[in-house]
Amino acid sequence: MKKITLYIILFLNLTFTYSYSNNKLYEKIDLFGEVIEKIKKDYVDDVNESTMMDSAINGVLQSLDPYSAYMSPELFSEMQTDTRGEFGGLGIEIGMESGVVKVISPIDDTPAAKAGIKAGDYIVKIGNEQVQGKSLMEAVKLMRGPVGTSIELTIRRKNVKKPLKFKVTRKIIEIKSVNSEIVGKRKNLGYIRLKSFNENSDKQFLDIVKKLEKDSKINGYILDLRNNPGGLLTQAINITDFFLNDGEIVSTKGRKASETRKFFARKGDQVKGKPIIVLINNGSASASEIFAGALKDHKRAIILGENSYGKGSVQSIIPLRNGGGMRLTISKYYLPSGDSISEVGVTPDIIVEEKGDDFKINSKSDNQLNYALKLFNS
């Protein structure tokens, strides 16, 4: 009898808690409706109710994290881009931070990179439009336009007092994700610059390594992932696997069982344990951080440069019944150590900050690459 009484009490408590929680939610919904009515009645200017509701929906999503966002039907239709290595625009990967658009990374050899935009810059104005208050997707839309036309971006940069202005000309961005050369005065070193993880990156990358291994007496590798904004998870796994004998590469964890997975290396380090230095900076994000973090955790490579960006989450594009869509974070990445990349990034084994106003990746002024070369030659 006591057990039955206890079950009834527990059931009533759960029912009350559920009912109380629902009542609180309904109160908030009623409050939202009241606010809308007050705006319609008392706000100084007429408002477009549809636009206002889109902003409200987007506000909910952007309160979750910098990468979740709402797209109206018109915006969703325009944003049907993919990761096939070609798209229109400025060549810039962006995210949101405290309501402001932040540059994750300018992609090499694109208008944004050539204009001088850097990872970590904040875009405060696009043309004559203030960015504050706009959604991430609205900012992307403003930056896009006909090929050959120009847009002025107003930038705020850390440790620079005055805003900076850059005129950037739009073009079709074709990402050639991998290039390489043999470097080093006393040792043959394979320098490979990986600019993104698009659908062809693993084939391009691995073909280059295999060719270097076959045709040259390579003593080690410098793998350059600076300003690599990431891309496809499968690409990061395939390329990381190439340098590991076994062990975990990365895991993803989400609310759904289907989003909680672990990925492991297959047997066989294809470069037979040759030394590796991986270069990263603040513009190395997502798949780049998986690669660098896995090799660091397995002590397979020395990581050199600056702390990476800290984008350790997976977004899914979900269509909505109104013809719009939303970009929603569905899981997070975790390194073999169990550490999350989100908002933390990967810390280099050797911290070497970018120096000089004339700094350019893979040039005489590239003090980070020069440091890596010294390590090999010492």
- Annotated catalytic residues are 286, 297, 311
CB atoms within 10 A of CB 217: 9
